[in-house]
A = this chain, B = another copy of it.
Amino acid sequence: MYQIMETKERVLADNNAAAAETRAQMQESGALLVNLMGSPGAGKTSVLLNLIRLLQDDCAIGVMEADVDSDVDAKTMQEAGVRVIQLHTAGLCHMDADMTKRGLDAMGIDGLDLIFLENIGNLVCPAEFEIGADLRMMLLSVPEGDDKPLKYPLMFSVSDVLLFNKMDTLPVFDFDVEKASARAKALNPAIVIFPVSAKRGEGFEPVASLLKE
């Protein structure tokens, strides 16, 4: 039998105060802040473009694009016609509440109804850092596999909404939707799951309705 060795406890910066400030700021402004999380390449930007397409006639939308480097996604968002700011984390693997707060201040939230933070592509660290969002939305894309709730349980535990993206590729991969759903719900019975295909623009209407509410 192999050994199992526990290594280190993560020492988390206490960012609850900043998250609470952001939450109060959002409540006052009436805007909804969504923390969008998922692995690299899960389709966060493409999912956002689909939601923007369905929502921008009814809502004023702002997007904060967090990236270690580059600003390819901010360019895409600007072309989509929403207010956008690019946040560079300079190597940091997640956004924390303080960075988020400064991002909101720098972008300006006046007049916005809906604000997305596209977090760093990562299933570990972003789950640990509250940013003061009203809604936490995560993506799991079909090619990543249905075992991910077993390996990255915290992300599934803290998310309110889970999108299974790249559903159009289901025939190519061994991804069992029932198993993935059951594993996510075992960690988080309240999680709301939507199957979508960002590439084909399919399945986003109920997600957009939920955000409008």
Contacts and interface: CB of A to CB of B under 8 A. Distances in A.
B4 A71 contact: yes
Copies of this protein in the assembly total: 2
A121 B124 CA distance: 8
Contacts of A130: none
B40 A123 contact: yes
A194 B44 CA distance: 27
B72 A151 contact: yes
A152 B2 contact: no
Interface in A77-130: 77-78, 84-93, 95, 99, 102-103, 106-107, 120-125, 128
Given A2-B86, A169-B172, A151 B40 contact: yes
A87 B59 CA distance: 46
A17 to B, nearest CB: 17
A145 B103 CA distance: 27
Contacts of A86: 2-5
B150 A72 contact: yes
A8 B89 contact: yes
A170 to B, nearest CB: 10
The residue among A40, A103, A154 with the most chain B CB atoms within 10 A of its own CB is A40
Given A41-B143, A86-B5, A123-B121, A151 B70 contact: yes
Nearest to A171: B172
10 contacts: A2-B77, A3-B85, A3-B107, A5-B102, A7-B95, A8-B92, A40-B144, A41-B148, A67-B151, A93-B125
